[in-house]
Amino acid sequence: MKLVVVSAGLSVPSSTRLLGDRLAAATVRGADVEVEVEVVELRDLAVEIAHNFTNGFPGRELAAAIDAVTSADGLIVVTPVFSASYSGLFKSFFDVMSGGDKDVLAGKPVLIAATGGSGRHSLVLEHALRPLFAYLRAVVVPTGVYAASEDWGAEGLAERIERAAGELARLMVGLATGSRGSGAVAVTGAGGRFEVIPFAQQLAALRP
């Protein structure tokens, strides 16, 4: 199985990337199958993303990143908080990716996460990220992870990471297994055939 981490962190080192790495490691531990992890660093794609808006064509590295995301069995998306929402770079990447096919993430398991300087921005997960990926018809796991500056090294963050990652791992494995059984309904979207899993089966996949 393939897990892709999309990190919109700008600094080096980046707390956004660190959170993405910890979530990925926990997801790998929680899965019962071999999981390949790939990280997409959006700061390295900023110029190509901007050019795509003006010329309509993705550059080589941006196209490879889009292919990685669309072919993944599960996604971890992490953004820093800017002006009480996701970053412009983060939104621009998903705008570019979904511009030609609004169903490009349909049915894909996604774990949402964010970092910020203050715990007061923790609701960004619910008022910004979750609606975005619901609009893109992804399957967003129940637990999102927000890490403020004071959360690093404090109690609670590690437990939230493990809980969210466990939900993603079970959903990835459950959907992959279900897509080979008779419980999935095959439909045809703009990007070709994909599997729609009954909601009850998706919920069952989240149970420990």
pLDDT at 193 over 60: no
pLDDT at 185 over 60: no
pLDDT tier at 188, thresholds 50, 70, 90: very low
pLDDT at 187 over 50: no
pTM for the predicted model, two decimal places: 0.84
**10-58 pLDDT per residue, tens:** 988 899 999 999 999 999 999 989 999 999 999 999 999 999 999 989 9
pLDDT tier at 184, thresholds 50, 70, 90: very low
**45-68 pLDDT per residue, tens:** 999 999 999 998 999 999 999 999
Q: Which residues pair with 141 in a beta bridge?
A: none
Write the secondary structure of the chain as one string of H (helix), E (strand) and C (coil).
CEEEEEECCCCCCCHHHHHHHHHHHHHHHHCCCCCEEEEEEHHHHHHHHHHHHHHCCCCHHHHHHHHHHHHCCEEEEEEEEECCEECHHHHHHHHHHHCCCCCCCCCCEEEEEEEECCHHHCCHHHHHHHHHHHHCCCEECCCCEEEEHHHCCCCCHHHHHHHHHHHHHHHHHHHHHHCCCCCCEEEEECCEEEEECCHHHHHHHHCC
**112-161 pLDDT per residue, tens:** 999 998 888 899 999 999 999 999 999 999 999 999 999 998 889 999 99
pLDDT at 82 over 60: yes
